[in-house]
Structure 1
Amino acid sequence: MLRRDVMKTAIGAALAAGPARAFAGAAGPWAPPAKGAVRMIENSFIPMPDQVRLACQLWLPANAAERPAPVVLEYIPYRKRDRYRAFDLLWGQALAQYGIAYARLETRGSGDSSGILTDEYLEGEQHDAAVAIAWLASQPWCNGSVGMRGVSWGGFSTLQAAALDPPALKAIMPMSASDMRYTDDAHYIGGAFALTGLKWATSFKVVTAAPPDPLITGAGWKAAWKKRLDATPPIAARWLGHQTNDAYWRQGSVALDWSAIKCPVYVVGGLVDSYGNEIPRLLANLKVPRKGLYGPWQHGYPWPATPGPGLDWAFEEVRWWRHWLMREETGIMAEPMLRAYMPDATAAEVAPGPIPGRWVSEARWPSPGVRMRHFHFGGGALHDAPQPAQIATCAGDTVVGLGKVEWVPFAPTELPSEQSADDARSLVFDSPPLAEDLEMLGAPSLRVRVASDRPVAHLAIRLCEATPAGKSWLVTYGLLNLTHRDGHELPSPLAPGRAYDVEIPLNFGAHRFKAGHRIRAALSESLWPLVWPSPEVATLTLDLAAARLSVPVRARRAAEAAMPLPLAPPMPPDAKGWPAMDITETGGRVRVVETWPLSTDEVKEIGETVSGAGPDVVLSMTAKDPISCEWRAEQTARFQRP
């Protein structure tokens, strides 16, 4: 899902400046070794047992034949020769010049690898990874130690490969990924089908249907391409065929067996991303050496990072890999288990600039320095003490959520907007003005007793910071398809009028609520178009005496552990690459249109032009008529040579 076209400007600047900048100003007793020459191998093939060959690009320290090096693998279905070339070049050069080889491998059926790709995270793909790891470890230029890293798909594949425990895999670094495919990936939110599921299905179609490069595949490239086209499934239909947490989603969800992962783990996520819930789970449940980093950025690397501040991430990667793959004491494991960015504002308030805040740390997770503060509901307010019995009605409104359209924002135009319009159509409960700053670190939760007048309904909560100026800014949120109240495996309809006790987890996050501001809980039946609406307009009845909002509050420290990583220079905003988001209402029908500009790259090294746009979406629904909901998505890609 990583939109690397959004970061083209940053990648070009990084390559022009040279990788040495990643280490400028690095603090501490450890310093990276002197830079060495790098040798790039444009394409190699790794053989699989069934005669399929996986295409691989390699960056090796130039002296690896004399001094074998460890190798770090990134394993994704995204094209290494053209669309992702700039990123691969950045990381390949950054690692190999410091003695760590880098292998960029395409999954079977993608790019220049043979075979067919029909779905995400297949068991066969995971076993291919184990074969590739063994092959890399056996090469004469390798010292036998392999690491694995990646963002998004690459983070998933990293966790899944580690769960197979390949002998040569010594450490991993998953970024912007998840350990639970049903609850924390792009397809479903709280048991409701997500708009991102359709958008990702559209993008995935481009991945599975793209041709191999004739310069690599040779005369048979058209036949290979036709096989891909013929085999490419209507993947959104497949995902809609698995609306519960069944065996389809459990396969590849490493949280079901923490003990399977036996190598050290460094898990990374971002505040503006929606992949962050895995960080506290992995830190709390794994028994191996582990670290976590939670920064301010969107779906991607800690650098280039938007929004900032980003980190000189090559420095940290080299420290991690040299520690675990070369047995070099870099000091990285003597530092806190978790580092998190504590923002003073939401990304939307300051976009497109960097988010103000500071880095905080926890020696371990769960942290004894984070305690739940419980808020009780009553009289349109949040209270520290339980309140008298009170019933509140949440009238059905199908278009609450226009201030939070995108699950994974890739540009400032996709960030949650100011929330007052959605708040006006929700049940709102505000705390008194805070007497002092309150710092949240962790995942809030809502417990509530709720009844519905329809057999299928949702309940959503948005946790916001309400300012004295009357603004409302989204901090985190949660949603539950109430038919999934007893779990996502066996949903059951609601009995109209019957009250149920439910708990709704909100997404993991960090935020400083400022003194004089209020904490706001906004409850609604709908979060459209973030998720597909309930089939009927449902009115919810809430027993407020049984409702409780729990917020993880971090005690402020007199001093924080120093952040050893140098900050990266801010990325200049590039509004030309942002999508246009247009929301209109005509005759009671709401219409959301998002259009991405055409992106064009000249890949001079291979004489190719790559262009494309999307996924563009048109979303519409008539208020109070959820059956009228329509979602449409389109994406284009073009690969050309003179």
Structure 2
Amino acid sequence: MSLHIATGLPYRTVREDVRIPLPTGRPGADGSEVTHLYARIWRPVTDEPVPALLEYLPYRVTDWTAPRDQQRHPWYAGHGYASVRVDVRGHGNSEGLPGDEYDATELADGVAVVHWLAEQPWCNGRVGMFGISWGGFNSLQIAALAPEPLKAIVTVCSADDRYDNDVHYMGGSVLAVDMHAWASTMLAFVSRPPDPEYVGTDWRGMWLKRLEAVDPFIHTWLDHQTRDAYWRHGSVSEDYSAIKAKVLAVGGWHDPYRDTVLRLVRHLPDDQVRGLIGPWSHQYPDRGLPPGPAIGFLQETLRWWDQHLKGEDSGVMNEPKLRSWISESHPPATVYPELEGHWVGDPAWPSPYVTPVEYAFQGEPLLVRSPQHTGLAAGRYFPFGNDADLPPDQREEDANSAAFEFAVDERLQILGRPRVRLRLTSPSPRGQVIARLCDVAPDGSSTLVTRGVLNLSARYGRDKVAPWRPGDTEDVTFELNGIGHAFPPGHRIRLAVSSAYWPWIWPQPGSEDGFTLDPAGSGLELPVRGAGDRALDATIAFAEPEQAEPLAVIHPAPEDPAGRRPERLVVHDVAARTWRLDVDPRYGGTRIYPDGLEFHEDALEQYTITDDDPLSATTRSSWTVRLRRPELAWDTEVRTRSEITCDAGDFLTSNELTCSEGGEVIFHRTWERRIPRTAG
């Protein structure tokens, strides 16, 4: 689909930057009497009060998300909504000190902002919230607090379970690939200074107060290795009935959070929720980033707002409860501009059109003892639409796993979460099992369809640690991530089981011994979707993507494009049997904003392991962020360095933060922590 830049919108718009005061009686943690949050508001020019839409993030409205904000907020304003973008306390140009992600203060502030918006003379008292990732999370969480003015939300690429469907843990196992990478990213992000262009000469004092309050997120996240009260906070799966607003839940099959959409449409009433899952990565579905096809997402959300904030019958509640994209079989590749497939509609979830079908394993018991580097072809945990995001051919990974295959005699399409049942005998109290579902073509190429993980000590629940009794045999069952995929005749379904998956999963001590898998007690359950209602499916259609006129950001060309660092580079020291994965996350590089701000960022993640030693696992991350305004003689830089290593009993974390102004270091701190491996 081609992108259309909207002109001639129904309303002329105005933009203003304001500071929203939080209620008295809730002083800032920095000792100030009142804390103000920085907000940018786009409003339609009209004498009539209109609904307000809120996007609430820590990612800096005046720079980091400004290009994305410009695509959608002015568009909503041009269609009769006050569209508001607010920086979370202690971030960007908002006052106060930063806290942990989604902490009680952030959510209470969000509730206060909802009420403030509803009370403005230009607002009709009805508020919606939307956002992707962090903004999608807190939209759900604030909806669960049920402020009266909040009538509807659109939550994109977010999670209802902060423990088992976020960047920290998967199947009860530590997510080495993103727990560390995201904690390191946030250490750099939270340490960026306020902008003197917007906060004036007090920027330096604000910055230093923030820096004194910084503590790496990784400490807290590793301190809570089971699903305890820390993770239950903010997990709306604890009580879906607390959500009173109407919920449009959106995800992509290449986003790690897509299972939340399936759970929300399952647990919320028919008149409260609609779900939409496309082929997309961790992006808004109108941005045109691979894999596509993109859709007119702003128009789709406008239907949602018109229905629930203006009381207009837009027909959005006549749509199927869940609209899903089913991808056709495709060869393995790390990027797809667009995938072939089709839309299907299901009136409920679980769907009456989906039937669980069992596939029994065959063969004698076999030892699964995967090399520790198994998983290097897993792809990026958070695909963003970059060239090296998605998993390449899985044949090498399959060779390091126990593989079970099933012939496809006629077209088979699945929709939902496959489930595996495995009979295992483990010689070690600790370990993990990873299952990957692959589509194997006649030429032998293997395309990853979906996967799942189980920490063996979490087999009785994510809230407890139950070491395996060495030598015992037990049956374990776990689900793989949801997917919509069609296997064509002549292909084979492959279920590959491994005992390692680095760097996604941090290996357990003793896991080098693997486990024995008995096919006689094992099998695969696929959610097979029948034809459904083809007439209904045929009605599912979306407009072409449309956005507001883009922000005039300049992206200078790199000085040496040929020497640009690869996105993903695997280095194998053959003699030492050591593997290293270098990852350039490519969040944005250098850009120059229309207001004159020069913003530069550079990051490198490294993951190292030796084939037969799970205790050799090491993650490293480094960040450089520079913000510069030549006209103000303002030049600041943030540098971070983070590392995690381990021994049998502990994780060892090391973090360093260095902040400079005009080339002079004004803040430097290091943190060294030893954190017991209670479950990880």
Whether these two folds match at TM > 0.5 is yes
Q: Deviations over 1:251-297 (max 9, x none)?
A: 00000001100111000000111110101110111135110000111
Q: 1:464 to 1:243 in 2, by over 3 A?
A: same
Find out whether 1:107 has 2:82 as its counterpart. Answer: no
Residue 363 (structure 1) shift: 1.8
Task: For residue 638 of structure 1, give the secondary structure of its aligned residue in structure 2.
Answer: strand
| Distance of 1:568 and 1:60 partners within structure 2 | 22
Q: Does 1:251 align with 2:233?
A: yes
1:585 maps to 2:572? yes
Offset of 1:562 from its aligned partner? 1.5
- Please list, as runs of the form range in 1=range in 2, the aligned pairs for 1:213-292 lying within 5 A after superposition: 213-287=195-269, 288-292=271-275
Q: Deviations over 1:460-507 (max 9, x none)?
A: 100000110000010000011101111111112111110122112100
Instruction: Report how far residue 100 of structure 1 moved.
Output: 1.2
Task: For residue 402 of structure 1, give the secondary structure of its aligned residue in structure 2.
Answer: coil
Identity of aligned residues (%): 36
- Dislocated runs of 4+, deviation >4 Å: 574-579
Give the deviation of 1:596 after TM superposition.
4.8
* 1:303-353 Cα distance to aligned partner (Å, 9 max, x none): 103211000111111111011000011111111111111111358438342
Alignment of 1:353-368 (within 5 A): 353-368=337-352
**Letter matched to residue 582 of structure 2:** V
In the alignment, which residue of structure 2 is the partner of 1:28?
none
Q: For 1:549-590, what per-residue CA distance to the aligned partner results, in whole angstroms no more than 9, with x for missing partners?
A: 1110110244423123124399xxx99899521112112111
With over 3 angstroms needed to count, the CA separation of the structure-2 counterparts of 1:352 and 1:561, relative to structure 1, is closer
- What is aligned with 1:139? 120
User: How many residues are treated as equivalent by the alignment?
Assistant: 599
Q: CA deviation at 1:635?
A: 1.9
> How far 1:250 moved relative to its partner?
0.6
Counterparts of 1:563-602 in structure 2, within 5 Å, are 563-568=540-545, 580-586=567-573, 587=575, 588-596=577-585, 599-602=589-592
1:533, distance to aligned residue in structure 2 (A)? 1.1
Matches within 5 A, 1:135-214: 135-194=116-175, 195-214=177-196
Structure-2 separation of matches of 1:555 and 1:183: 30
CA contact (8 A) 1:578 1:596 kept: no
Whether the aligned pair in 1 keeps the contact of 2:368 and 2:401 (CA below 8 Å) is yes
Contact preservation (8 Å) 2:17, 2:38: no
Q: Tell which deviates more after alignment, 230-239 or 345-354.
A: 345-354
Structure 2 residue corresponding to 1:293, chosen from 256, 272, 276: 276
CA displacement, residues 77-114 of structure 1 (integer Å, 9 cap, x when unaligned): 01100111111111111101110110101110111111
For residues 622 and 182 of structure 1, what CA distance do their matches in structure 2 show? 28
Question: For 1:304 and 1:171, how far apart are their aligned partners in 2?
Answer: 23
Helix, strand or coil at the partner of 2:437: strand
> What is aligned with 2:459?
485
Which residue of structure 2 aligns with residue 431 of structure 1? 406
The answer for the alignment partner of 1:523 in structure 2 is: 497
Secondary structure of 1:464's counterpart equals strand
Aligned match of 1:386: none
Matched, 1:507 2:481: yes
Structure 1 Cα separation of the partners of residues 139 and 329 of structure 2: 32
| Residues 595-610 of structure 1 aligned to structure 2 (within 5 Å) | 595-596=584-585, 599-604=589-594, 606-610=595-599
The alignment partner of 2:361 has SS state of: strand
Structure 1 residue 122: deviation in Å? 0.3
Moved more, 404-413 or 526-535: 404-413
Unmatched tracts of structure 1, length 5 or more: 1-9, 22-33, 380-389
Residue of 302, 310, 329 corresponding to 2:285? 302
Aligned partners of 2:416 and 2:90: how far apart in 1?
39
Tell me which residue corresponds to 2:538: 561
Unaligned residue ranges in structure 2 (runs of 5+) = 28-33, 548-556, 631-680
Give the Cα separation in 2 of the matches to 1:479 and 1:346: 24
CA RMSD of aligned residues (A): 2.0
Confirm whether residue 311 of structure 1 aligns to residue 295 of structure 2.
yes
